[in-house]
Amino acid sequence: MADHHSNRVILLVGVSFYPSNTPRANRWTYFARELDLKGWRIRVISREFEGYLSNQRTSSTSSDLHTPSLLSRLIRKAFSYLLFDHHIIWAVRKLLQIARRKDIYREIDIVVAYGLPLSGILLGMLIARILGRPCVVEYGDPIDKNPAHRPTLLERIANKWTITLAKQVIVTNENYAEYASQVYGRQIEFLSPVASLPTLKKSETQLNESFANLGMSIKVFYAGMFYDGLRSGVPFIEALGHIKKEIVFVHAGTIYKKALNKNKYHNIGYLPQNIISHYLYWADVVLYFSNSSNYQTPSKVVEIAHLANVVLAIGNTFSTFESTLLDQTMTFYVSNKASKIEEQLNNINLLSNPNPKSDFYFNEKVNRLIKYNNKVISELDSIINKCIL
């Protein structure tokens, strides 16, 4: 239903958007749809989607997923060793096009930019300045506190410029919001991650039967990649080898070669994000790895906390946001050491869970997840609206 901003237009700028199937693309495609339902008119500039949201279909299916070509992946890899994000070339070309035709963007009321400093965010900030409009910037992973990426000089300059001059800056980690507010001398808004809502492809009974086909073993589920360090899967696989309980490890994602020859390892391949939610519910135990940085929050914690019945949370530290969410379900916290994981797996008593699994309880959990997402959308709507007033 249209409301007080029915005539206002948001220009959403970012590299990743529908039909890409990355966490950032899924997050902002979802945000765009929900803001559209609240009465905003959404215009998008991205690599694979450009135009007004209301004129396009944005419900992703497996056939919609965009997979980069081998050449594209090689180019990206090459640019990762240079001074800047490879998407900057796209951003510069797009900026030049818009600068020559800025009259067609005169109806824009506000620009919302997201992504990395030298691509979507930089482009969005410059467009906003060309048009004389306010700009809201959203960072997923902070460039200056990301242990997986050492920022270049250009990235640090762009990062400081955008955080300093943007009308409002939004981050998805409460620790980084506090840190950045102090470092940059301005208020940084914390906005909780949203969850990917499940899309039913087959009945819950069929999905439950797929787990039943694995036997009477306890099904431990994990969706994602393993990395060196805090997210290493080696200790967990080692622990499985010593467990006397009948346990099968169900892994969604790229085959983990270090577990390939283990008889308790069952790989089901890649699952679309909106299907994983079902597996989180029907699995007996769900693995969750905390991030290697206190300034990043994995978005999957939201789905896991709302949908899983029992969680084995592996890591050394958990942020207040993570623990608050995970404490809503039966969560066992453990460091990523084989002996500790083995001990915790032996202690998990699935019979102590008060709610048996059923379609009813699954739908009840999904409804709570929807309420959580609606609260996040309302906060985002309020932030954007205040920047125009």
Instruction: Select the more confidently predicted residue: 388 or 150.
Output: 388
Cα angle 175-179-180, degrees, rounded to a multiple of 5: 115
pLDDT tens column, 169-198: 999 989 999 999 999 999 999 999 888 887
Mean of the pLDDT values across residues 137-161?
82
DSSP string computed for 286-342: EEEE--SSTT---THHHHHHHH-SEEEEESS---HHHHHHHTTSEEEEE-S-HHHHH
DSSP string computed for 235-297: HHHHHHHH--S-EEEEEESS--GGGTT-TTEEE-----HHHHHHHHHHSSEEEEE--SSTT--
The pLDDT assigned to 107 comes to 92
Q: What is the CA radius of gyration of the chain?
A: 22
Mean of the pLDDT values across residues 153-164?
88
Tell me the pTM.
0.82
Q: Give the confidence band of 145 by pLDDT, cuts at 50, 70, 90.
A: confident
pLDDT tens column, 9-55: 999 999 999 988 777 888 899 999 999 999 999 999 998 899 998 75
The pLDDT assigned to 66 comes to 44
The alpha carbon of 90 is separated from its chain's Cα centroid by a whole number of angstroms, namely: 23
Rounded-to-5 percentages of helix, strand, coil across the chain: 45, 15, 40
pLDDT tens column, 328-368: 888 999 999 999 999 998 888 765 555 667 777 888 888 99
* Residue carrying the six token digits 């206190």: 294
Tell me the C-alpha distance between 272 and 70, whole Å.
21
CATH 3.50.50.60 fits 204-369, yes or no: no
Which pair of structure tokens corresponds to residue 5? Answer: 């901003």
Helix (H, G, I), strand (E, B) or coil at 44: strand
Q: Is the dihedral of CA 99, 103, 104, 107 positive or negative?
A: positive
54 sits in the region (left: phi over 0; alpha: psi -120 to 50; else beta) called alpha
pLDDT tens column, 115-140: 888 889 999 999 999 999 999 999 87
Tell me the C-alpha distance between 341 and 7, whole Å.
55
The pLDDT assigned to 61 comes to 35
The 10 Å Cβ neighbour count of residue 28 is 28
The pLDDT assigned to 109 comes to 96
pLDDT tens column, 210-261: 666 777 678 899 998 888 777 889 999 999 888 878 888 999 988 888 887 7
pLDDT tens column, 59-91: 443 333 344 455 655 555 555 544 455 678 888
Helix (H, G, I), strand (E, B) or coil at 143: helix
DSSP string computed for 113-131: EES-IIIIIHHHHHHHHHH
- Give the closest residue to 25 by CA, choosing from 16, 36, 35, 12: 16
- In the chain, CATH 3.40.50.2000 sits at 9-191, 204-369
Query: Are 133 and 43 spatial neighbours (Cβ–Cβ below 8 Å)?
Result: no
Helix (H, G, I), strand (E, B) or coil at 205: helix
The 10 Å Cβ neighbour count of residue 55 is 7
Tell me the C-alpha distance between 380 and 376, whole Å.
6
The alpha carbon of 140 is separated from its chain's Cα centroid by a whole number of angstroms, namely: 8
The pLDDT assigned to 220 comes to 92
Using the predicted structure, report yes or no on whether residue 149 has a pLDDT greater than 80: no
Helix (H, G, I), strand (E, B) or coil at 221: strand
Using the predicted structure, report yes or no on whether residue 373 has a pLDDT greater than 80: yes
- Give the closest residue to 233 by CA, choosing from 346, 344, 338, 347: 338
CATH 3.40.605.10 fits 9-191, yes or no: no
Which pair of structure tokens corresponds to residue 49? Answer: 């989607």
The pLDDT assigned to 242 comes to 86
Tell me the C-alpha distance between 311 and 348, whole Å.
10
Query: Are 312 and 219 spatial neighbours (Cβ–Cβ below 8 Å)?
Result: no
The pLDDT assigned to 100 comes to 84
Q: For 314, list phi and psi in degrees, rounded to 5.
A: -105, 125
Q: Provide the percentage of residues in the chain whose pLDDT is more than 70.
A: 84
The 10 Å Cβ neighbour count of residue 246 is 10
As a whole number, the mean pLDDT across the chain is 83
